């Protein structure tokens, strides 16, 4: 019986440790942002970002995968104000963040 209990304790510890590692990786391992040259960004993504925030210039684009969905983070500067527009690979705008003078103001669409 003591051998069974020891095996059971080892199994439970292994499951707890493994689950903790998996949870940590899921929470902290999401920094897979990949810079993408603007020329390689799908046209539909650029059109959606430009329609959501007209004018200005796109300065940088990063691509990441969130919950299995490819998201492009398009950074634009319009009249000195920086915007970050999150767009799916099929051109749906998920979020727009506006940053003027260091004050973070979020607008969700």
Q: Over the stretch 3-44, which tens digit does the pLDDT of each residue have?
A: 888 888 888 888 888 877 777 666 665 556 889 999 999 999
Same domain, 8 and 60: no
Same domain, 24 and 37: no
Same domain, 13 and 66: no
Strand partners, 72: 63, 87
Same domain, 20 and 60: no
Strand partners, 98: 83, 105
Same domain, 75 and 94: yes
Alpha-carbon distances, residue 5 vs 12, 79, 83 (angstroms): 10, 68, 58
Same domain, 63 and 98: yes
The pLDDT tens digits for 60-74 are 999 999 888 999 999
The pLDDT tens digits for 42-51 are 999 999 999 9
Inform me whether the pLDDT recorded for 108 exceeds 60: no
Same domain, 58 and 21: no
Same domain, 47 and 21: no
Same domain, 52 and 102: yes
Range of the domain at 10: 1-30
Number of domains in the chain: 2
């Amino acid at each position: 019986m003591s051998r069974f209990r020891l095996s059971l304790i080892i199994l439970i510890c292994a499951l707890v440790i493994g689950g903790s590692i998996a949870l940590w990786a899921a929470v902290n391992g999401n920094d897979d942002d990949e810079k993408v040259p603007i020329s390689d960004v799908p046209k539909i993504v650029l059109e959606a970002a430009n329609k959501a925030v007209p004018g200005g210039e796109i300065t940088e684009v990063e691509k990441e995968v969130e919950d299995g969905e490819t998201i492009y983070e398009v950074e634009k500067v319009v009249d000195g104000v920086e915007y970050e527009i999150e767009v799916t690979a099929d051109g749906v705008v998920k979020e727009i963040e506006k940053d003027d003078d260091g004050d973070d103001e979020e607008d969700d669409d």
